[in-house]
Amino acid sequence: MRTREFGGTGRKVSIIGQGTWAMKNNGRDALKLGIELGMTHIDTAEMYTGAEELIGQVIRNRRKEIFLVSKVVPSNASYKGTLLACDASLKRLNTDYIDVYLLHWWSGSHPIAETMRAMEELVAAGKIRHIGVSNLDIDRLKRAQRALTREKIACNQVLYHLRSRGIEHRLMPYCESHNIAVVGYSPFGQGHFLLGSSKQAKALSVIAHRHGKTPRQVALNFLTRRESLFAIPKASNVDHVRENAGGTGWQLTDEDVQLIDSVFPPSKDEPLDMI
Ligand code: NAP
């Protein structure tokens, strides 16, 4: 599994990670295999009931290999609530630090300054290594960064798959110019990978055939084609994990990229909504 620097953190992180939304105990073997295959970048959240506990069990004895990301839910993101939520996640994850702690989406409930003050305190206490955000548009990203006094936003985790490429217009270039990692979630459209026309399916299978890969591997390769990008597919099935691990380590040609652009044109620049 290839790694690349995660935003400005100085950490090398697996380009393809493992999502854990709705992952239950039956995801245990998949998660373990993913780690064996180098997908050590693991994404979770306090909101993903049961996932943090499962991860805590799986990464016991190998914490140092793992790049662990978790998130505070906005309704908890007051100053005190963020501190408490982080402690609760650490306990469930059975670890004493989280690599990047994110605000899950913009908080209508608590001022961003409060959340970010708590985040900086968590960094100072060694409970989190870096601060990130999720589902933020450029304006909110700027406001989150301005609320920080010492730290820099490490990543913005956003929806990104072949049929949802709206971030490519402005958000991705903005993040790249500020050295903020762009972590694309739901890379398979939450399991609805190819609801599109058969033209799309055909194009992916032509490209897959050229490289001896599968259409999903082509999608993951495309979604991580730039140095700022990471993808975090969720797979509870070990065969799916094996397939996803093959999404990097080879390169699409310009012709492949043009074909993808022609059948999955980037959607217009839309405001980000929480998914
Ligand atoms: P996804 O990764 O796009 O799709 C997951 C679905 O695809 C599952 O049904 C999985 O099946 C299936 N799948 C995975 N690999 C496959 C393969 N190789 N072949 C066939 N099917 C495959 O959807 P997601 O879970 O929404 O997104 C991924 C992660 O992003 C989440 O788990 C979560 O960590 C994160 N996320 C973050 C936010 C946010 O607001 N920040 C929002 C949504 C998601 P099996 O499980 O049966 O293998």
Q: With a cut of 70, say whether residue 107 has pLDDT above it.
A: yes
> According to the model, what pLDDT value does residue 272 have?
64
Q: What is this structure's pTM?
A: 0.96
Q: Give the residue, 62 or 194, on which the prediction is more confident.
A: 62
pLDDT tens digits along 159-213? 999 999 999 999 999 999 999 999 999 999 988 887 556 899 999 999 999 999 9
Q: Give CA 86 to chain center in angstroms.
A: 18
Q: Compute and round to an integer the Cα radius of gyration of the chain.
A: 18
pLDDT band at 267 (very low <50, low <70, confident <90, very high): confident
Mean pLDDT of 128-138: 97
**Please, is 263 exposed, middle or buried when counting C-beta atoms within 10 Å of its C-beta (0-12, 13-18, 19+)?**
middle
The residues, any chain, with a CB within 8 Å of residue 165's CB and separated by 6 or more, are 264, 265, 266, 267
% of the chain at pLDDT higher than 70: 96
Q: Are strands 12-14 and 3-5 parallel, antiparallel or unpaired?
A: antiparallel
Best CA proximity match to 220, nearest among 228, 212, 230, 210: 230
Q: With a cut of 60, say whether residue 271 has pLDDT above it.
A: no
Q: Identify the helix (H) or strand (E) that includes residue 185.
A: strand 181-185
Q: How far is the CA of 192 from the centre of ligand 1 (A)?
A: 10
Q: With a cut of 70, say whether residue 84 has pLDDT above it.
A: yes
What Cα–Cα distance (Å) separates residue 53 from each residue in 6, 67, 90? 25, 16, 10
Q: How far is the CA of 8 from the centre of ligand 1 (A)?
A: 26
Q: How far is the CA of 148 from the centre of ligand 1 (A)?
A: 31
User: Any residues with Cβ below 6 Å from ligand 1, and which?
Assistant: 19-21, 43, 104, 134-135, 157, 185-191, 216, 232-237, 240, 243-244, 275
Q: How far apart are CA 141 and CA 138, in angstroms?
A: 5
Residue whose CA is closest, atom 2 of ligand 1? 233
Ligand 1 probe mutation, 67, 73, 216, 240, most atoms within 8 A of CB: 240
> According to the model, what pLDDT value does residue 194 have?
79
Residue whose CA is closest, atom 25 of ligand 1? 234
3 state SS of 24 = coil
pLDDT tens digits along 220-266? 999 999 999 999 999 999 999 999 999 999 999 999 999 999 999 98
> According to the model, what pLDDT value does residue 268 have?
72
Q: How far apart are CA 265 and CA 197, in angstroms?
A: 13
Residue whose CA is closest, atom 9 of ligand 1? 191
Mark out the alpha helices in the chain (DSSP H runs). 28-36, 51-58, 79-93, 112-124, 138-146, 171-177, 198-211, 215-223, 238-245, 254-263
Atom of ligand 1 nearest to the CA of 188: 3
pLDDT averaged over every residue in the chain: 95
Q: How far apart are CA 1 and CA 37, in angstroms?
A: 7
> According to the model, what pLDDT value does residue 178 have?
98
Residue whose CA is closest, atom 36 of ligand 1? 185
Atom of ligand 1 nearest to the CA of 134: 41
